[in-house]
């Protein structure tokens, strides 16, 4: 493929991750024009919004064809799992992301666990079930001789909600029933995985993959629980920071060489080539790093700290991925720390109201932060809340203390009714 001088780029999605992608892509001198579908009000400052849903693969490909889009970048997992890359490539359109077969690394936990086990890649021990009865007997047996918790997971997509950590048999049984009998995640509960419970610090290691070469990005640690001190239920994430001191160079190399590279090699032996972003969620156990999950896309909000730290041109880097020449590129980083504080709607991850007017956005930016929109919309020209995670406030500093202070000074200038944020993002680093 010959590269045009400058190209039109389309970002698919409309959350905080996509705002960060669009924010970074818009800085590239390679970009002639940037579109987002469907985007959000924050993204509208850098990209033209197109009213097409992220899951409407055909309409997206039609738009890309009609508008001479030179590169499409997919944010969320759903279109990838549904095969958006196959659809675009069959029409000769350039797109960043894995094909449908490779996206099964996120689309099916059973597929991934089997692949890991067959190839001796470090992960929690597990069993897969396609019927509730045997799964239920298995957890009863487990708790008859062990006090260790088990982790019950729906096989397929569950918007980050299909994971249950169960301390006792009744709890595990209830989780299996919800997933496999009541089908609270629909077809994603056709199978369930029951896993050994692991302990340790968790980290995200994202890597760009061009079918051969892997280039890992700066590691990130996120905060999944809704309240300070890791209390309350899991959320999509309440904030994160990068880099991560516990993820030393050795840990990162181990994850790359013993987990990510062997996974891609195993896929290749099945005739599946992975291209795009491979997100490894790992846990650092006493017996070494183990894989908790793969995602096949940029993390949210991990992207909101990684891209502000990236000095290199993202478009140039993504084109190298798509064209299989990542080995020619060296990704450069700023020598800084980044912190992102998520501002959520009160009640999230449970029920919450939307439509609350948001004040102070320009003041937060003038305090030196970047405010990424995650769940916002416009109402009569005013920006109002539109989701659980509403904003991600990212700040950089020469050390963690500075980055954290800047992020909170900026976040405190924002106001909407019932807003909630954690006050301890990054505190463990001080």
Tell me which residues in 10-69 interact with ligand GLY (CB under 6 A): none
* Residues near ligand AMP (CB under 6 A): 124, 151, 153, 163, 165, 195-198, 202, 224, 281, 292-293
CA 325, CA 396: separation in Å to the nearest integer? 30
- Does position 222 interact with ligand GLY (CB under 6 A)? The reply is yes
Of the candidate residues 40, 235, 295, 394, the single one contacting ligand GLY (CB under 6 A): 295
All residues at 6 or more sequence positions from 107 whose CB lies less than 8 Å from its CB, including other chains: 77, 81, 156, 157, 296
CA 74, CA 391: separation in Å to the nearest integer? 20
Q: Which residues are paired to 333 by β-bridges?
A: 310
- Residues comprising the chain, all counted: 430
Shortest separation between residue 194's beta carbon and ligand AMP, angstroms:
10
Shortest separation between residue 411's beta carbon and ligand AMP, angstroms:
24
Of the candidate residues 173, 195, 302, 313, the single one contacting ligand GLY (CB under 6 A): 302
CA 407, CA 60: separation in Å to the nearest integer? 35
Shortest separation between residue 302's beta carbon and ligand AMP, angstroms:
12
Question: Which residue's CB comes closest to ligand AMP?
Answer: 293
The region of 137-145, 294-302, 325-333, 416-424 touching ligand GLY under the rule CB under 6 A is 294-302
Strand pairing report for 31-38 and 48-49: parallel
CB contact at 8 A, 85 and 25 = no
Shortest separation between residue 203's beta carbon and ligand GLY, angstroms:
11
The region of 58-66, 191-199, 293-301, 306-314 touching ligand GLY under the rule CB under 6 A is 293-301
Q: Is-cis flag, bond preceding 278, omega within 30?
A: no
Question: Which pairs from 182-190 meet CB under 8 Å and 24+ separation?
Answer: 185/154, 185/156, 185/157, 185/158, 185/161, 187/156, 188/154, 188/155, 188/156, 188/157, 188/158, 188/162, 189/154, 189/155, 189/156, 189/162, 190/130, 190/155, 190/156
Shortest separation between residue 75's beta carbon and ligand AMP, angstroms:
18
Give the full edge-to-edge strand order of the sheet including 150-154: 126-129, 192-196, 150-154, 163-166
Helix, coil or strand: residue 65: helix
Residue 151 near which of ligand AMP, ligand GLY, none (CB within 5-8 Å, type-dependent): ligand AMP
Question: Which residue's CB comes closest to ligand GLY?
Answer: 299
Closer to ligand AMP at the Cβ: 54 or 124? 124
Pattern 226-255, binding to ligand GLY, x per CB under 6 A? -----------x------------------
Burial class (CB in 10 A: 0-12, 13-18, 19+), 364: buried
Interface with ligand GLY: number of residues (CB under 6 A): 7
Shortest separation between residue 339's beta carbon and ligand AMP, angstroms:
19
Of the candidate residues 155, 157, 195, 300, the single one contacting ligand GLY (CB under 6 A): 300
- Tell me which residues touch ligand GLY (CB under 6 A): 160, 222, 237, 295, 299-300, 302
């Amino acid at each position: 493929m010959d590269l045009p001088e400058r190209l039109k780029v389309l970002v698919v999605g409309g959350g905080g991750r996509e705002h960060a992608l669009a924010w970074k892509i818009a800085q590239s001198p390679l970009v002639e024009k940037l579109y987002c579908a469907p985007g959000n009000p924050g993204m509208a400052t850098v990209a033209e919004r197109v009213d097409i849903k992220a899951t409407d693969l055909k309409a997206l490909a039609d738009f890309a064809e009609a508008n001479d889009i030179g590169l499409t970048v997919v944010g969320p997992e759903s279109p990838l799992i549904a095969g958006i890359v196959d659809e675009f490539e069959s029409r000769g359109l350039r797109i960043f992301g894995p094909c449908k077969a490779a996206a099964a690394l996120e689309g099916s936990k059973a597929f991934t666990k089997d692949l890991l086990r067959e190839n001796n890649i470090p992960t929690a021990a597990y069993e897969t079930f396609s019927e509730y009865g045997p799964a239920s007997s298995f957890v009863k047996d487990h708790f008859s001789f062990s006090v260790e918790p088990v982790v019950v997971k729906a096989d397929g997509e569950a918007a980050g909600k299909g994971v249950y950590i169960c301390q006792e048999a009744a709890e595990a049984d209830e989780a299996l029933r919800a997933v496999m009998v009541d089908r609270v995640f629909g077809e994603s509960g056709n199978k369930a995985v029951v896993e050994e419970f692991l302990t340790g610090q968790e980290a995200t290691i994202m890597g760009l993959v061009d079918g051969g070469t892997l280039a890992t990005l700066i590691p990130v640690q996120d905060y999944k629980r809704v309240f300070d001190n890791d209390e309350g239920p899991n959320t999509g994430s309440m904030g994160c920071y990068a880099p991560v001191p516990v993820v030393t160079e050795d840990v990162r190399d181990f994850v790359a060489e013993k987990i990510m590279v062997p996974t891609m090699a195993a896929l290749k032996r099945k005739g599946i080539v992975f291209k795009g972003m491979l997100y490894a969620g790992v846990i650092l156990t006493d017996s070494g790093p183990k894989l908790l999950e793969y995602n096949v896309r940029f993390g949210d909000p991990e992207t909101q700290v990684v891209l502000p730290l990236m000095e290199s041109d993202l478009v140039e880097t993504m084109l190298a991925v798509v064209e299989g020449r990542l080995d020619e590129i060296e990704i450069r980083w700023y020598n800084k720390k980044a912190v992102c504080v998520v501002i959520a709607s009160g009640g999230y991850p449970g029920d919450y109201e939307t439509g609350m007017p948001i004040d102070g956005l320009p003041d937060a930016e003038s305090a030196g932060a970047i405010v990424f929109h995650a769940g916002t919309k416009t109402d009569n020209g005013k920006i109002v809340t539109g989701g659980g995670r509403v904003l991600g406030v990212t700040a950089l500093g020469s050390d963690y203390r500075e980055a954290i202070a800047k992020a909170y000074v900026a976040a405190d200038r924002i106001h909407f009714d019932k807003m909630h944020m954690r006050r301890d993002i990054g505190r463990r680093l001080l």
